[in-house]
Amino acid sequence: MRRLYNLYGPSEDTTYSTFALVERQSGPSLRAPAIGVPLDGTAAHVLGRGGEPLPVGVPGELFLGGAGLARGYLGRPDLTAERFVPDPFTRWYRRQERGSTAPATWCGGGRPAI
């Protein structure tokens, strides 16, 4: 195998939202791959509680948006209102994985990590 890519995304954003080339690793200090950069037509932002962009290394919530974003949850307007956030230019999906308290952070180079 020459290259391995990590494709990340919840089903609310057509499964794949970001991608990253996974670097070959060895030894005791293995680390999880970054989720990468947004695919064409999508956007990813790590935001604070007030919706403000956060700098590299500061934990926050991952928001995804763009062409593949679902309209919401069928028959669940309450959950749709909680997870799909309106914006003057587009709508965003607020990633909240059940049972997970892992925040998102910027790794630098436009790459978010979870």
**What is d(CA 101, CA 6) in angstroms, rounded to the nearest whole number?**
21
89: exposed, middle or buried (C-beta count within 10 Å: 0-12, 13-18, 19+)? exposed
- Give 99 or 39, the one with higher predicted confidence: 39
- Confidence class of residue 78 from pLDDT cuts 50, 70 and 90? very high
Mean pLDDT calculated for residue range 66-70:
86
Asked if pLDDT for residue 87 goes beyond 60, the answer is yes
Mean pLDDT calculated for residue range 78-82:
92
Q: How confident is the model at residue 42, as a pLDDT? A: 87
Average pLDDT over the chain, rounded to an integer: 80
- Confidence class of residue 73 from pLDDT cuts 50, 70 and 90? very high
Closest CA to 96 of 110, 108, 79: 79
**What is d(CA 70, CA 85) in angstroms, rounded to the nearest whole number?**
12
